[in-house]
Structure 1
Amino acid sequence: MKTLSIFRRKTLIVKFIQDRNLAYQFTMSLNSYKLLQNKKKNILEKWMNNQLSDEGLREDLISNEELRYQSEELIDALVSNLSGESFSDLMSEEWNSVIEILSGISITRARQGFSPRETGNFVFTLKEALLNVLQEEIGEDSKLLFEESMKITRLMDNLSVITFETFIKGREEVILRQTDEITEISTPVIRVWDGILALPIIGTLDSARTQVVMENLLQEIVDTGSSIAILDISGVPAVDSLVAQHLIKTVSATRLMGAECIISGIRPEIAQTVVHLGIDLSNIITKASLASALAYAFKTMRLEVRKINSVQK
């Protein structure tokens, strides 16, 4: 699954900010810029201390070395971009490196299993470090301190928006990928005998999953030349009209491929529900258990299973 492009991410982020009236004109005075540039090392150390002292730091997910690398990479890009006059346009070229780094870190942390709070704290602790350095250097000038603190606060708040937006995108990618993987695993087609296939279904059967079931089953029928397929719904918690329609479509598609389809796992409560809903399954072969369906399949194919009473030596 492809990650959003830089341009696309920036477009979504800027729109998100503008919609919430967060756009602003940020002009850093020359003295403040030099202060931040000259105190970069001090800012980094304070930032690292803030992160390492956080009780919620996930040392099982990220090492101190990787955390420092990410911090150094972002602060270098951030300080180098503070030389511009206008910071209201996050689409400008000067913000490419900052947005790309933040996006990469956020998406990576989403995949690693970090929470939104833990990811957002990466930016919040930087904000705290920046404000501490300003306090130490220009604390005597309360007016200047207030003005520059507000500018940095606005800047870091908007970078926090970027962090959360890209984290959500990364988490969505993880969820979609895991959903696809679970769907593939939960719809296995088993070759139980020459010419007989079985597909046990576990969990809810929705439209998307039905499509996967049909595709896997039909492809296996083509590959093996099987003439009988058994759909076992013992693991389906409930059967409503929608689930029944999905099953009917699967049976119809199987028959179009020249194979007979048997539905097994019809429990008493499912039978009552089907009758109550008025669903017609009269033209479909149904069995109470997978064993019954397999016995019917053997009989249809003129196969017989016998118990061996004694073994000759």
Structure 2
Amino acid sequence: MSEQDAAQEAAEWVGAFLTRRREQIAQRWADATLFRTVFTLSRDESVEACKTVIDALATVATSGRLDDITAPAFGTVRDQLGRMAASRAWTGSSSAQIADEVADLREPVTSVLREEVTDQSDAAAQDSLLALTVLMGTLRLVIMETTLMAGEELIERQRQQLMEVATPVISLWENIVAVPLIGTLDSARSQVVMESLLDAIVAQRARYAILDITGVPTVDSLVAQHLMKTVAAARLMGAECIVSGIRPAIAQTIVQLGIDLSSVITRATLADALAYALGQQGVEFSSGPATGAGTR
């Protein structure tokens, strides 16, 4: 028998073994950390989840694709164990810890195999043990891949939430809203700013929107382009946009870059922008001394 034929025969034997000893393996896996920490209320539910994974592994083994993480049957494994590993990651477990928990599944199934094989020195038995080891190693890779993808999705969601928190829309006066920008203004954040501002314009029926860039460290052509798009979008919603917080250094940079902001209303400070918007609405206010100051 050729090496390839022997490997295929061992893989098929492992598939039949997993199907045959499904119940025993599932009972042992249900006590493993990975399953026990997810299915905390029902052990029966944990056992059924184990059986689903074992059936998928048996299908992979029978197909002979022991080391192929793209094998169709691994889709079931990703759905079942992947969600479990992801839930462990969301509760604070590290990738290394999850990898160890998946690796711990190998010993129970190997023990069941050794109980069934009487002569472990037999070549066929050794081939079967090797096939099972390869299969469990591939299982670990599949789960790690799924866990990492879930981690990336979690990071992306957190990044989106942070951007939303970092770009609040403030109601300064009736019909006047403002967005104080702090930090670098990239494409992704600019999109969040635009969406948040437009939503606020609709919700508060704002006629004036102030974009305050006092906290933006630098303004280049890309940042200016983002600002112009936001101003244009606000105008389409019926609101006049005012850009405030343009410091002398930023003003010089804008001039040197040849950026044309002539169509945009600009003011040096947020207070100046608010004063302009109030004046446009006919609101009278005093810029004299603060209340309580002595007068003669």
Q: How high is the TM-score relative to the length of structure 2?
A: 0.73
Tell me, yes or no, if the aligned pair for 1:36 and 1:79 is still in contact at 8 Å.
no
1:82-121 residue CA offsets vs partner (Å, 9 max, x unmatched): 76671436435xx776453223213323433332222222
Aligned residues with identical type, % of pairs: 41
Q: Which residue of 1 aligns with 2:194?
A: 214
The question of 1:111 aligning with 2:90 is answered: yes
| Equivalent residue in structure 1 for 2:206, among 226, 230, 240 | 226
Q: Which residue of 2 aligns with 1:187?
A: 167
Q: Which residue of 1 aligns with 2:105?
A: 126
| Equivalent residue in structure 1 for 2:149, among 166, 169, 173 | 169
SS of equivalent residue, structure 2 residue 12: coil
| Equivalent residue in structure 2 for 1:251, among 227, 231, 255 | 231
Q: Which residue of 1 aligns with 2:260?
A: 280
Residue 156 of structure 1, CA deviation: 0.9
For residues 244 and 266 of structure 1, the distance between their equivalents in structure 2, rounded to whole angstroms, comes to 12
Tell me, yes or no, if the aligned pair for 1:233 and 1:264 is still in contact at 8 Å.
yes
1:114-152 residue CA offsets vs partner (Å, 9 max, x unmatched): 322222222211113333554576585323442122111
Q: Which residue of 1 aligns with 2:62?
A: 86
Of residues 293-302 and 223-232 in structure 1, the stretch that sits farther from structure 2 once superposed is 293-302
Question: Residues 189 and 150 (structure 1 numbering): CA distance in 2 closer, same or farther, change over 3 Å?
Answer: same
Matched to 2:217, the amino acid is: P
SS of equivalent residue, structure 1 residue 156: helix
Question: Residues 71 and 301 (structure 1 numbering): CA distance in 2 closer, same or farther, change over 3 Å?
Answer: same
For residues 54 and 198 of structure 2, the distance between their equivalents in structure 1, rounded to whole angstroms, comes to 59
Tell me, yes or no, if the aligned pair for 2:26 and 2:47 is still in contact at 8 Å.
no
Q: Which residue of 1 aligns with 2:25?
A: 40
Q: Which residue of 2 aligns with 1:76?
A: 51
Residue 163 of structure 1, CA deviation: 0.9
Question: Residues 64 and 100 (structure 1 numbering): CA distance in 2 closer, same or farther, change over 3 Å?
Answer: closer
The question of 1:100 aligning with 2:100 is answered: no
Tell me, yes or no, if the aligned pair for 1:229 and 1:260 is still in contact at 8 Å.
yes
How many residues end up aligned between the 2 structures? 275
For residues 69 and 240 of structure 1, the distance between their equivalents in structure 2, rounded to whole angstroms, comes to 61
Q: Which residue of 1 aligns with 2:12?
A: 27
Matched to 1:288, the amino acid is: A
Q: Which residue of 2 aligns with 1:16?
A: none
Question: Residues 171 and 79 (structure 1 numbering): CA distance in 2 closer, same or farther, change over 3 Å?
Answer: closer
SS of equivalent residue, structure 2 residue 276: helix
Of residues 127-136 and 111-120 in structure 1, the stretch that sits farther from structure 2 once superposed is 127-136
For residues 113 and 188 of structure 2, the distance between their equivalents in structure 1, rounded to whole angstroms, comes to 55
1:273-305 residue CA offsets vs partner (Å, 9 max, x unmatched): 323322222332323322232233333333333
Tell me, yes or no, if the aligned pair for 1:73 and 1:101 is still in contact at 8 Å.
no
Question: Residues 166 and 145 (structure 1 numbering): CA distance in 2 closer, same or farther, change over 3 Å?
Answer: same
Residue 70 of structure 1, CA deviation: 7.9
Tell me, yes or no, if the aligned pair for 2:178 and 2:211 is still in contact at 8 Å.
yes
Unaligned runs of 5+ in 2: 1-6, 66-70
Q: Which residue of 1 aligns with 2:3?
A: none
Tell me, yes or no, if the aligned pair for 1:28 and 1:82 is still in contact at 8 Å.
no
Question: Residues 290 and 310 (structure 1 numbering): CA distance in 2 closer, same or farther, change over 3 Å?
Answer: closer
For residues 258 and 220 of structure 1, the distance between their equivalents in structure 2, rounded to whole angstroms, comes to 12
Q: Which residue of 1 aligns with 2:132?
A: 152
